[in-house]
Chain A
Amino acid sequence: MNTPSPRNVTLVTGELLGAGRAGGIGTAHSWLAIALARLGHRVEVLYYGLQAAALRKGNWMAFYERFGVVVRPVLPPDGSRKDWHWDRTTRIAERLVAAPPDVVIAQDLGAPAAASLRLRHLDLALRGTLFVVYCHGTSQWINECARRARVTDPAELASATILERSAVELADVLVSPSTYMLEWMAARGWALPAQRRVVPLLTRRAALGELASKPSSRRAGETIARLCFFGRLEERKGIGLLIAALERLDPSLLRGLELELLGAPTPTWPRKRVERALPRKARRALRSVSFASGLDQPAALLRLARPGTLVVMPALGDNSPNAIYECLELGVPFLASSAGGTSELVAPEDRERVLFEPTVDGLVEALERVLRAGTLPAPAAPAYDLEAALTAWDETVRLSPSAPSPRPEASVERIDVVVTSRGSGQRLARCLEALAHQEGVEATVVVALAGPRVPEPSELPAGVEVVRAARSTFEAARQAGLEAGAAPLVCFLDEEDVPDPDLLVTLARARASSGADVVTCGLRLREADRERVHLFLGEPGGLGVLENAYGTVALVRRSLLRDLSTAWPSEHDPDWVLLARLRLQGARIVSVPRPLVTTSRRPGTVDGAPGDALLVLEDAERALPDEADSAARLAAGLAAQAAQHASRVGQTGGGRPPRRRPLTTLALRAWRRP
């Protein structure tokens, strides 16, 4: 019998055990990496978190290497905050493209593999790599679990959600520790790949091959001495629910018990707030209230295992919490909410007695039942098999990727390139010069004049046609340029744009492999003192009314381009108006996550190009029905208000002043100085 050959597996994650904070994602990826290495695969971890130094200092690199896992930090983003997601995912794509592994396993949150997946989707790289997205919960899911509609940066959340969704949809395989998480995504209309697997999280014991040794700390029948809230002090983990339940609970049931809150405080629930919020009658009845935070996993588990401890985990939403795995493995008695994927972890026969609805009523009822009995309930049994989980992961990494299939017309379609000239002969010449060096496609160049100046024939390369519209607007010029040609594909450029030699061939190839109606690409934006890469989402959904996240330079199917006129001439970004309109008409738009053009044309935004934003909005309203259409206007108005607010704060200095810590800084310097 042949031994299956090992696979080169790369895990992509922003959290790892040993690298500062490591929540559920870090724990899951760390043990998965070790387990795969122990199964014989060559495992590398691309770690893009900000705590690489902690890994080195704490000897964690050596720990992973002991199992054959190589951890490679990815340099942190250095771009502006707005482009943070793109910055990270493109850096990771560069690493993967440079040395393509057999398998990539990437976390869903933050979509670190989004650019790599898009490149593969457009048949531009990574053709032979299997992509697995490991689902722990996306940004939108986290937000929903916290039961809040507000976020710090809504546009960033929208952008992250689009990237996360696209990564999930473009993956070959989804692996989730719960059916619940897959159903959550499907219920929101996400087109999940056909290959979906539910595999429980690999625990430390499973990863290290210690499943045979059973822990023996089952303590059924012990008198309850302590209630231990286990989890970060945050709304999602149910701290508010616990406090409300304590308010409702008969104080006599709490008399003489300790209450311990085992988990880190958070900005919304600092320790003081929890202390203040605990009902007075409950505090009087309890023997003590204590907090423990900053403990590592073994220390936390030791506290849970103390005699007489009943663990309470009233999370409002959770996928497949490590805390439950740990209690199940250690035989620690607990009460947990049945939210999310938790119930899938508990043996069906135990669910009724250890799980409760994530409501105040549910928690009160569960606590009353157990506290009236006075003794710890029997520990629950797990519903999963970790040996089978190891096998499932081994099978998963041996699957084959679903490669894109290029369409036959890729190499035969001709392209008309329409360059809008607004009067700068020098810029126009530079753009035309770059176009003359395009490789691998048959292109006809038309210069459409949108200004009073007509270029001298000497400024134009041979074969370039010049057209002039009756009106001097972008739209009229482009219309004239469009009508001067007949190729099935059209690419609009501005005289500011300097295309890379592979612009047209890359766009054509991406269009052929994706079947999209429009293909845009990233830009190298010239700014005062540097160049900044600007990438586009392609199909930005609602975000498209706030900024041009479609693209500027685009290859468009001619049949979609008929009347380019607008209610009034666009001022800054005619591509925003055009591409938003095409998308609203149902065109499919993809964007190559690579810069293929150098330009100083900045894509439009609602505050930078309000007239263009209004044109986009008018089109959006006509296309959307009822409440949705007015929501588009509302969204745009809110964004504008936010921008106005930010600018007002900036001008008047009325906002939060910059943090100044002169005294602290001096003290720190004095302390650290040798």
Chain B
Amino acid sequence: MSGRRVVVAASEVLGMDGTGGAATADSLLALALARYGHEVDLLVAPGRSAGELAEPWKSLYADLGVRVTHLEPSKRVFPSYLAPSYSVFETARAIKPDVLVADDWRGLAWATLRARQLGLEPERTAVILYCHGPARMLAEFARKVPDTVARYGEEIAERAALELADAAVSPSAWLFAWERERGWPAARNELVVPCLWRSVALGEEPVRAEGRARVTRLAFFGQLREGKGVRIFLDALAQLGPVVENIDLLFLGRETPRWTTERIRAALPRETQAHLRSLRFETGLDPIAALAELRVPGTLAVMPSLLDNSPYTVSECLEHGVPFLAARTGGIPELVAEEDHARTLFDPTADDLARALRSALTAADGVGPATPGFDPRAALVRWVELVETIEPIPRARGPRISAVSVVAAPSYPSRTPIGAVDLTLEHIESDTRAAGLARASHDWVVFVDRDDDPDAGLLDALVEAQALTGADAVTTAVRPADTPDGVRVFLGDPGALGLVENQYGVIALVRRALLTDEELAPSTSDPDWPLLAGIALRGGQIVSLPIAFATHRGRPGTISDVPGEGLAVLRLFETRGHDSPGIAALAATLAAALARSEARESRQPPPSQGLFRRAASVVRNEGVPGLLVRVRARLPTRRFVGRRAKSLIDPLHE
């Protein structure tokens, strides 16, 4: 097979500052595919500052013909957490590659996959999701609750991408199991392929550490963060006492705000430090220099991650023959040959790490390097085979809708005819949706409000998307009227996020049988929010086109609108029959409170200035007596209040 046009979409790549394992995997994959004769673009999705790539990576990409492009969105994308995915989509639409390989994190392939599913370009691009771990898993690594609404929205996109991809590749079987356990959908083809080693990807011989020797140096290898096990490493060292006598201790990894070198130094008991021969931190080394440190004879690398997918730290130790101890967690055991598990792996607790370290430090001949649990060259072969053979999975197509009722407000802006090919249309002009629907005679309805200015191709696109998916409602991205260069994209079926904001859509083709009177009630702000939330909560499927087919003058509803549709949507969530309405209510109100406090923070003028200015103005115009009269009128004590002032003072507060 001749070379294919391949796009690898990543969030960061080798050559940028402070990259992690995903960047290594994506970059090495791009380089390896280029070596095998494919035309490869390596896209860096927006989110990280784009600087000049460092050597030797810059030359390596150039030598092998890999084009590295830092993407910036061509337009303002709302919500902003979908902007990276939208940028990848726009590039994929322009290039129309044979294969798109995109990271699962941040749902980079979501918009492309959704467009393809709904009959939009790039239809003939096969999409492979490269699964290094979604945002939720990263939060779990760090043992914290995801703390922004954007993360939640990203997770919806990540899940949808997994469901829609032609294949998903994970370096560990553990990750797929982790997703299954949390109810994530299965990809249509799931493959476990270990991350490519640098030596394999570039066709080099790895420089291996010298033979086995007594351990004289311990090297914590990985970012200095909670999830990488800094705390249990320190606790374990504290338990070892004189066992660490004359041992060099090295921390090899980037600092983090929570775990600085000062904090680590302070957390290491003085008694332990007294036993050590030296304590050193190397927080800025590139991967090549870091590996050189690890290959120093007598060094034992320690990777005590609390949870991890398939860390490159372990892979690199395996690749370079560096002796190591690693936590028996996540996908790590899959990297190590079964027979080496007992001597190289430990449970991610301080006790078990202390046991393993004691054993390693007291062994006269140290610890030998471990054998990989897989064939590193076979991993490359599998990737190449996959990229060379994958095609988009054919979609089943349902019957096409033949008739639609368009219920329009009397004066929607453009009155553009929104007819469609082979479609019987019924135009009904009505003040209210309920009254219009009562006059409608077809099974499918589109409501066009005063805020909507649909494009000529809207109905064609909606009807086509419905035929391809069998959805109960199809919505579309819109151009906000106040941001002509922007696009507002909708998740379609946003799960519980639908409680916080309208992420369903603002203009929709809807199956009439699913409409209820309650959700058609007149609304002050966003009538589509309760309408579509009701459909989703009754089990209806909603999909949304990621390309704008209308201009919208309104703003999708949010929980902080007063008056607004938030309460109606909350009641829908509460009354759907689940036994835990309190949680839904709490989620909604928390979001609203937060939105309000942030908005207030951003627009609050310095109050003291205002007061001073007002006071100064009064003194200037009315003198001090005038000021005192005004102050008196503000006093809460009734006996000072004159009759006129009394009627102005409000003793009650809302």
Chain A residues at the B interface, C-beta cutoff of 8 Å: 20-21, 23, 140, 144, 146-155, 157-158, 161-162, 188-189, 232, 234-235, 240, 264-268, 291-295, 359, 361, 452, 471-473, 541-543, 545-546, 568-569, 571, 606, 610-611, 613-614, 617, 620-621, 624-645, 649, 654-657, 659-664, 667-668, 670-671
Residues of B within 8 A of A569 (CB): 349
Residues of B within 8 A of A633 (CB): 145-146, 152, 496
A635 touches B652 (CB 8 A): no
A663 touches B583 (CB 8 A): no
Partner of B566, one of A140, A148, A606: A148
The 3 closest A-B pairs by CB, nearest first: A150-B592, A542-B583, A541-B582
Partner of B239, one of A452, A571, A628: A452
Residues of A within 8 A of B653 (CB): 21, 266-267
Partner of B612, one of A267, A631, A663: A663
Residues of B within 8 A of A154 (CB): 586, 589-590, 592-593
Partner of B601, one of A268, A359, A654, A668: A654
Q: A148-B566, A655-B601 are in contact. Are A631 and B145 (CB under 8 A)?
A: no
Residues of A within 8 A of B652 (CB): 21, 23, 232, 264, 266
In angstroms, Cα B347 to Cα A659, docked, is 53
A624 touches B580 (CB 8 A): yes
For the complex with contacts A21-B652, A149-B589, A628-B580, 7 further pairs of A-B residues with Cβ separation under 8 Å are A148-B562, A240-B563, A264-B652, A613-B145, A635-B590, A638-B591, A659-B607
**Nearest chain A residue, comparing its CB with the CB of B619:** A663
Residue B595, interface by CB 8 Å = yes
Most buried by A among B567, B583, B584, B600: B583
In angstroms, Cα B524 to Cα A359, docked, is 11
Partner of A359, one of B140, B352, B522, B651: B522
Q: A150-B592, A472-B351 are in contact. Are A634 and B580 (CB under 8 A)?
A: no
B522 touches A627 (CB 8 A): no
Kindly specify which of B193-201, B211-219, B627-635 makes contact with the partner chain. B627-635
19 contacts between A and B (CB under 8 A): A21-B652, A149-B589, A149-B592, A150-B559, A232-B652, A235-B563, A294-B647, A568-B306, A614-B140, A614-B145, A617-B145, A621-B182, A626-B578, A630-B496, A632-B587, A635-B583, A635-B587, A664-B611, A671-B631
Q: Min CB distance, A449 to chain B, in Å? A: 12
B143 touches A631 (CB 8 A): no
In angstroms, Cα B183 to Cα A110, docked, is 39
Q: Min CB distance, B585 to chain A, in Å? A: 7
Within 8 A of A (CB), among B303-346: 306-307
In angstroms, Cα B279 to Cα A377, docked, is 92
B560 touches A150 (CB 8 A): yes
B597 touches A645 (CB 8 A): yes
Residues of B within 8 A of A291 (CB): 647
Within 8 A of A (CB), among B143-196: 143-149, 151-152, 182-183
B583 touches A632 (CB 8 A): yes
Partner of A631, one of B522, B587, B608: B587
Q: A642-B590, A645-B594 are in contact. Are A292 and B647 (CB under 8 A)?
A: yes
A638 touches B587 (CB 8 A): yes
In angstroms, Cα B148 to Cα A644, docked, is 9
B144 touches A614 (CB 8 A): yes
Q: Min CB distance, B279 to chain A, in Å? A: 23
Q: Min CB distance, A78 to chain B, in Å? A: 22
A149 touches B145 (CB 8 A): no
Q: Min CB distance, A540 to chain B, in Å? A: 8
Residue B394, interface by CB 8 Å = no
Most buried by A among B140, B307, B582: B582
Chain B residues at the A interface, C-beta cutoff of 8 Å: 139-140, 143-149, 151-152, 182-183, 239, 306-307, 347-352, 495-497, 499-500, 522, 537, 559-560, 562-564, 566-567, 569-570, 573, 576, 578-598, 600-601, 604, 606-608, 611-612, 615, 627-628, 631-632, 634-635, 646-654
Q: Min CB distance, B494 to chain A, in Å? A: 9
**Nearest chain B residue, comparing its CB with the CB of A158:** B586
B146 touches A150 (CB 8 A): no
In angstroms, Cα B649 to Cα A55, docked, is 19
A636 touches B145 (CB 8 A): yes
Most buried by B among A148, A627, A649: A627
Residues of B within 8 A of A266 (CB): 650, 652-654
A657 touches B608 (CB 8 A): yes
Residues of A within 8 A of B586 (CB): 154-155, 158, 541-543, 546, 635
Residues of B within 8 A of A23 (CB): 652
**Nearest chain B residue, comparing its CB with the CB of A22:** B652
A235 touches B562 (CB 8 A): yes
In angstroms, Cα B57 to Cα A279, docked, is 66
Partner of A293, one of B147, B306, B648: B648
In angstroms, Cα B306 to Cα A635, docked, is 25
In angstroms, Cα B593 to Cα A157, docked, is 11
In angstroms, Cα B559 to Cα A663, docked, is 39
In angstroms, Cα B652 to Cα A293, docked, is 9
Partner of B351, one of A471, A624, A649: A471
B654 touches A232 (CB 8 A): yes
Partner of A656, one of B566, B600, B611: B600
Residues of A within 8 A of B589 (CB): 149-151, 154, 157-158
A294 touches B648 (CB 8 A): yes
A149 touches B559 (CB 8 A): yes
Q: A610-B144, A664-B631 are in contact. Are A541 and B583 (CB under 8 A)?
A: yes
B651 touches A149 (CB 8 A): no
In angstroms, Cα B569 to Cα A265, docked, is 29
A545 touches B583 (CB 8 A): yes
In angstroms, Cα B588 to Cα A144, docked, is 13
B593 touches A153 (CB 8 A): yes
**Nearest chain B residue, comparing its CB with the CB of A271:** B648
**Nearest chain A residue, comparing its CB with the CB of B329:** A568
B350 touches A158 (CB 8 A): no
A642 touches B563 (CB 8 A): no
In angstroms, Cα B631 to Cα A638, docked, is 41
B578 touches A624 (CB 8 A): yes
**Nearest chain B residue, comparing its CB with the CB of A145:** B567
Q: A568-B306, A614-B144 are in contact. Are A634 and B152 (CB under 8 A)?
A: yes
**Nearest chain B residue, comparing its CB with the CB of A612:** B143
B578 touches A627 (CB 8 A): yes
Partner of A667, one of B183, B581, B588, B631: B631
Q: Min CB distance, B454 to chain A, in Å? A: 27
**Nearest chain A residue, comparing its CB with the CB of B634:** A664
B601 touches A656 (CB 8 A): yes
B590 touches A639 (CB 8 A): yes
A150 touches B595 (CB 8 A): yes
**Nearest chain A residue, comparing its CB with the CB of B594:** A642
B650 touches A265 (CB 8 A): yes
